[in-house]
Each structure stands twice: as C-alpha cells, then as structure tokens.
A and B are shown apart, each in its own frame.
Chain A
Amino acid sequence: MRDRVAIVGIGETEYRPWGGITDRSEFRLACEAILAACADAGLSPRDLDGFSSYANDRNDAPRLAAALGCAELRFAGMVWDGGGGGVCAAVAHAAHAIHAGAASCVAVVRALCQGQYGRFGRIGGRAPGRQVPPPSVPPGFAYALPMGLLSPAAMCALIVRRHMHEFGTTHRQMGHLAVAVRAHAQRNPRAVMHGRPLTLEEHATARVIADPFRLHDCCLETDGACAVILVSAERARDLRRTPVRILAAAEGGEGAWGASLYTHQAPAPPYPSANLAPVARRLWAMAECTPQDVDVAQLYENFTGMVLLALEDLGFCERGAGGAFVEDGTLPLNTAGGNLSEAYVHGLNLVLEGVRQMRGESTSQVRDAELCLVSGGPGVAPTSALILRRD
C-alpha cells in the first residue's frame, strides 16, 4: 500500500463551539463536508463507492451513499472502538480498500453536532440516575463510573500525573505546546480560537479541569464536519489537485492495553504512554524513513500532556523527554491550531491540515515540507498514525 493511494480532496464545514450549529442536521454537515471534498478533488459525489469512519460516527455509509446518489456502495468501514484513536486508521482502511481493489473512490468522514446529540465524551446522560448509562458504555466503565472517573480529562490526567512522577515532566512544558498551537490558530481564520491568543501565564492560571490539566490543556468541543477523498495514486494523476500520497499508515497498540482509559491496567511500562509505540514501529518500517525526516506533524491533542507521550512513542525523542522536546519547539506541530485551538472534529481536521501542508497551502506553511506525520488519539486502543508525502 506504501505510496499507492492518495488523498485528492479535502472538505469541511464551518467550525463552531459545541452546540453552536443548530440550523442544519449533523447528517447534513457530513454531506456538506463530502460535497466540498469532492468539489476540491474535481469528482462527482456519484463517483464515491466507499465510506470510512471511526468512533461509531452516526452518519452511516448506506445513508450517505443514498443521499449522495452513489451508483454503488462497495466499502463501508468503521474502526472498531478507540474513539479519536481511530482517525488515521479510518484513512488507512480507505487506502487498504482501494489498494486491494475493493473500492475505487472512498470518502473518510466525521461529523459532530453536540447540541443535537449530547455533549461528546459525557457519560451517563444529562440527568442524575442509577444504572442508566447508555447501552454503548463499555463494561470497563463499571469500575470507573461510581468512583467519579467520568471524563476523558480525568482519565488522561491519571496517565500524565504518573509520567510527571517518573520523568519530572511539568505543567509548564505542556503550556509550551498549548501556546504554540494557539499561535498557529491566530493565522487560521477557520479556527475557533482565531483572534484569541494565549500566554504561558494564562495557561498556568486557568481553572483546573482535572489536575494537572487546566482549561487550555484540554481540546475544544466543536460542532462541524470534515471529509477527505482517496483514490489510487494512478487515478489521482488525472484529477485537478496535486495528490498527497499515503506513504505509510499503521494502527493498533499494545495487546494488553485494553480499555486502559477506564481501568488503567496496562503493564508499566508501557504505562504511562500514549500506546503509540507499537504503531510507530510498523509506521516507520513501512515508510522506510525516520522521525528526523519528518518536516511537520499533526498530533491529536486530547490533552496537552498526552501529546508529550505521543512524541516519545513516535520516536521524536526518548521516553520521558517529551516535555523538554515541546519546550525546544523544533518540530512544527498542529499548524492549523489542532484540536486545542482550531476545532475538535475528532482529529479529522488534523488530517486536512496535513494535506494542506503537503500542498503548500497551510496558513502556517512549513517551507518545502515533503513529509507530514499525523497521529490519532493517544492513550486509547486502537490508536493510529499516518505519514503523508508530497507528490
């Protein structure tokens, strides 16, 4: 599959803070993002014959195919669990399907409209009540819910607190990431946090969410949708945009990671980590390159501290050195503002920004960038990563 499939179109709706889009349905947003991506690619939506998503996106493939007038549905892929960890895996599944000949033109889509369907990541519904979590709550939650381990912030805080203990990582180091990413958002008019710069001091003194995380350590909560279109690299040559190739992709994690955000039972090591090390080994082997070859990266930020762990797992620095690495700031990260400051479309917006970097169209363009790494949600299983290559 290496280099044989390309992203040829990207599309998105506007981004609004959660609950901010009330005039259209979430399903319509998904369709709008796909239409925009098709227009970008110079393809008709009728040309699509596959859909791929993750995190149990509600806007399922059969409905999309019917709504878009597709001639035939050949591929409907959903990453099995892992939430935002599956974002790059959803792209990879599309690429694998195309490379295997199972489909020819696949849209990867993610739409979130939290005012219409409940706040994402909130467990157990809105009202107090016993024994009534939604049926989708996994069994591992049984040992977390009554103990008040209810939010992704608190779950990841447990991992990052342990990392601070073992390696001396500091909250201020996490602040360097938050501030750098927010600065990128100031150049990106699409970003929810455009026009709202952030200082290290503001990061350090914002209200506590789940210690050590304060407000600006946490990703945004967004209404919006994103889509990318993939075809074979061969077919991509005939389309209007410069193709961006999938150089490598990998997904998964440690076998024993399980539902570690709820149960924290993974062996130590790899706990505390982002669970990306096994993914990284396969990613670099397929890419036949090293972290030093990467010009720019879009790393899924659920919480700042988890990105430090992802950088370690991905091999950009030694285990325990993630804090010092972001302090140095040598690798351009999350150049559109990322999940922290652009939008939280569950990380698919990071893939779009990776494509922009490879096309030379980012609002924070890295000069002559040829390789961009994108990673999915850290700390979950499966998680995933991609390396994009300029054609």
Chain B
Amino acid sequence: MPYLPADLPRLPPGRDDAPWWEALRRHELVIQRCAACGTWRHPPAPLCARCHATDARWERVSGRGLVFSYTWVHHAAHPALAERGPYDVALVELPDADGTRLVSNVIDVGPADLHIGLAVEVVFEDLDDLTLPRFRPARLVSRTP
C-alpha cells in the first residue's frame, strides 16, 4: 500500500526532469549537480543558477536526511484523499547534497514522533507508472548507499 492514494494528480516528466524520475524508477535517489562548478540543484533545472553552465550530472546520494519542517494535513484537498485521514508532508534536507530539500512524506511515524531534526532514510514506493521517494525514520545500522 502506498502512503498516499496513487490517483492523486501528477504532472508527466518533462525534458528538464525526466532523468530524476527515471532514476527513482531504478530505486536510486539522484540530485542534479552542475558539471562545471558542482552546485547542487533541485528541482531539476536546465542551467546552473550560479555559473549558468547547462551541463549537469545526476549524482546518487545516500538517501539519508533530516526533517526540516513538516505538517499534518487533515483537510482532504482532493477527492482521492477523502477516506485517507490525516497524513504528513515533510521537507527533508539532504546533508550529502549541500542541504537540498525534498518535499516528501515520512512513513511509519505518528504525530508524537515526527519532529524537526528527525533522521530519516529514503524508501522507494512503486506505483504502476511512477516511483516516489518517501522517507522513514532512520534505522541505527550502517547502510551502503
């Protein structure tokens, strides 16, 4: 069961971000990085805001992060969520990508345990045509990226 209903609205991958979605499909979390100056950027963009180079790499990151902010959403803003009940949306900061933030959800956590600074790790949720990066509280074992 995915954390949120699979029929939430979504946008199809575009020319600027298709590699990000393709990597997720392979269960790899990658972040775009300028090939010229090394600046990380997300969401994907066609050029580097620092040096304006257009060449970029998609660099694999560990998937370990820290909760930067969060909210528990009670109001169902879409019909697909009508039966879902409260869920969280979290901003997850990725220390090994210079603090890049992802909008995601922390699964396997309740209101008493979700807090800013919580260490989390990525999990990949496969929908029929899309894979989403979600996070769960980090387990205290070393993992290979």
Central interface residue in B4, B11, B42, by most chain A CB within 10 Å? B11
In this complex, which of B75, B87, B102, B104 has the most chain A Cβ atoms within 10 angstroms of its Cβ? Answer: B75
Nearest residue (CB) in A for B81 is A148
Chain B 9-39 near chain A by CB (<8 Å), digits 1 or 0:
1111110110000000000000000000000
Q: Which residues of A contact B73 (CB under 8 A)?
A: 148, 151, 154, 157, 210-211
Q: Of all chain A residues, which has the CB nearest B127?
A: A146
| A 105-150 contacts with B by CB, 8 A | 122-133, 137, 139-150
Q: For B53, list chain A residues within 8 Å (CB).
A: none
Provide the bound-state CA to CA distance between A132 and B12, in Å. Answer: 9
User: Which B-chain residue is minimally distant from A163 (CB atoms)?
Assistant: B69
Q: Known: A150-B77, A264-B101. Contact between A131 and B11, CB under 8 A? A: yes
Is B71 an interface position by the 8 A CB rule? Answer: yes
A186 to chain B, nearest CB (A): 26
Q: How far is the CA of A123 from the CA of B78 in the complex (A)?
A: 8
How big is the B interface, by class? 35 or more
- Distance to closest chain B CB from A135 (angstroms): 10
What residue of chain B has the Cβ atom nearest to residue A258's Cβ? B43
Would B132 and A162 count as touching, CB distance under 8 A? Answer: no
Whether B91 and A211, one on each chain, are in contact in the complex, defined by CB atoms closer than 8 angstroms, is no
Contacting residues, chain A, for B130 (C-beta < 8 A): 146
B116 contacts A by Cβ under 8 Å: yes
With A209-B74, A264-B101 given, is the CB distance from A158 to B4 under 8 Å?
no
Chain A residues within an 8 Å CB radius of B80: 128
CB distance from B117 to the nearest CB of A (A): 8
A130 touching B87 by the CB < 8 A rule?
Answer: no
Q: Which residues of B contact A66 (CB under 8 A)?
A: none
A199 interface contact, C-beta 8 A = no
- A171 to chain B: closest CB distance in Å? 13
The answer to whether B69 touches A161, judged by C-beta atoms less than 8 angstroms apart, is: yes
> In the complex the two chains form, is B103's CB within 8 Å of A143's CB?
yes
A174 to B4 alpha-carbon distance, docked (Å) = 30
Collect the chain A residues with CB atoms within 8 Å of residue B116's CB: 161-162, 165
Cβ of B68: which chain A residues have Cβ within 8 Å of it? 162, 264
A256 at interface by CB-CB < 8 Å? yes
Q: Tell me whether B49 is interfacial, beta carbon within 8 Å.
A: yes
The answer to whether B78 touches A161 (Cβ under 8 A) is no
Is there an interface contact between A150 and B78, defined as CB atoms closer than 8 Å? yes
Query: Which one of B9, B73, B79 has the greatest number of beta carbons of chain A within 10 Å?
Result: B9
Residue A362, interface by CB 8 Å: no
Can you list, as one digit per residue, whether each of B76-115 has a CB less than 8 Å from chain A (1) or not (0)? Answer: 0111110000110101000000001111110000000000
A residues within 8 Å of B by Cβ? 122-133, 137, 139-151, 153-154, 157-159, 161-162, 165, 207-212, 256, 262-265, 272
Sample (17) of A-B pairs whose CB atoms are under 8 Å apart: A124-B9, A128-B7, A128-B78, A129-B9, A139-B43, A140-B43, A142-B14, A146-B10, A146-B130, A147-B4, A147-B104, A149-B89, A154-B73, A165-B116, A208-B75, A210-B72, A263-B42
List the 3 closest pairs (A to B, CB-CB), nearest first: A124-B9, A157-B71, A151-B77
